[in-house]
A and B are shown apart, each in its own frame.
Chain A
């Protein structure tokens, strides 16, 4: 079965550079979530989209932005990167009308290292 696809899997950037992460949800899923997981930390919710519109916003820095495109894939753009942005970034998807209990399907994550 198709899963959530994230790219790239690994990314190394310098401070103050820009990075873009991509997420391709499970086909027919209408909701996409982005989470940030720092070393030894719990996943922190950043932002979600439903039917290509921003749905909920968590602890996403102003330097970050995200959008969901017409094909439902999503991109997380991170600018002016800081050392503290080094983390594993997860994308998850769900089908809202059947997700009345909050189950998400996660991708394998994109590991960002900022030097």
Chain B
């Protein structure tokens, strides 16, 4: 399993449109996640989708599980300075015994200027 994210940093002005690309390779039918890491904090789940064509959404962010393109791009229509953080795309395959072990991408830093 692997996750590939666009490299950052992504620098935007406030109210700009955001897209952070994420593609994955996996066996089976994984669940897909976006986690966000604010400065000095741990990762927090932002949104998730568990099957093809599902759309996860939270705090104005959205991502659609596209099985045909193996993608889960993160979008937001109008970013705010407070959205500045590192965003991690992750996947989790159903386990064959054992626990779910999410695989993370490298993270994309977002910097939003006033």
- A24 an interface residue at 8 Å Cβ cutoff? no
- B27 an interface residue at 8 Å Cβ cutoff? no
Contacts of A40 in B (CB 8 A): 106
Known contacts A41-B106, A101-B31, A101-B48: A106-B42 contact under CB 8 Å:
yes
Q: Kindly state the separation between the CA atoms of A45 and B107 in the bound complex, as whole angstroms.
A: 15
Chain B residue at minimal CB-CB distance from A30:
B99
- A90 an interface residue at 8 Å Cβ cutoff? yes
- A58 an interface residue at 8 Å Cβ cutoff? yes
- B104 an interface residue at 8 Å Cβ cutoff? yes
Contact B50 A45, beta carbon cutoff 8 Å: no
Q: In residues 28-67 of chain B, which contact A (Cβ within 8 Å)?
A: 31, 33, 35, 40-45, 48, 50
Q: Which of B3, B40, B44, B99 contacts A106 (CB 8 A)?
A: B44
Q: Which of A43, A55, A94, A100 contacts B98 (CB 8 A)?
A: A55
Q: Which of A43, A96, A103, A108 contacts B104 (CB 8 A)?
A: A43
Q: Kindly state the separation between the CA atoms of A33 and B43 in the bound complex, as whole angstroms.
A: 13
A48 to chain B, nearest CB (A): 5
* 3 pairs of A and B residues whose beta carbons are closest in the complex: A102-B92, A102-B100, A106-B42
